[in-house]
Amino acid sequence: MNDIVPTNVLAKQGVAAVGGIAGGIGLMILGGLPSLFGIIAGGVVGLIGLGAMGSHDPADKRAGLIALVAGGLTILSKVGIFSGLASGFLGLATVGLFGMGVWNAFKFYKGLKSRA
């Protein structure tokens, strides 16, 4: 028997799905930028993440940390002696975020079906 999924759980799953898929696509775009544009974009993403780290909400801090790390990995993947390692981590993060988004979208869809 399917239990009805509460609205707050369903909303969290939907937000996590959209955030994960959008984050994965964003990291794919950041990883594909040419060197100079990648460094600039990585710096901007890192600064936005650093700004979000100052929030009092734990969810904002988590998102800020993810953005800060993504910006740092983008910069490191374009320059430096660790560019190969950073590119690998950036690709792994891309797959991870996209996979998490798809998984949450699947759970969101199942939760919607339980409410119908």
pLDDT band at 47 (very low <50, low <70, confident <90, very high): very high
Residue-wise pLDDT for 14-43, tens only, equals: 999 999 999 999 999 988 889 899 999 999
Which tokens hold the place of 19? Answer: 């955030």
Q: Would you tell me how many other CB atoms lie within 10 Å of the CB of residue 38?
A: 19
pLDDT per residue over 50-97, tens digit each? 998 888 988 888 889 989 999 998 998 888 788 889 889 999 999 999
User: What pTM did the predictor assign?
Assistant: 0.82
Domain ranges of the chain: 7-115
Q: Kindly report the three-state secondary structure assignment for every residue of the chain.
A: CCCCCCHHHHHHHHHHHHHHHHHHHHHHHHHHCCHHHHHHHHHHHHHHHHHHCCCCCHHHHHHHHHHHHHHHHHHHHHCCCCHHHHHHHHHHHHHHHHHHHHHHHHHHHHHHHHHC
User: Is the pLDDT at 103 greater than 90, yes or no?
Assistant: yes
Question: What was the pLDDT predicted at 2?
Answer: 64
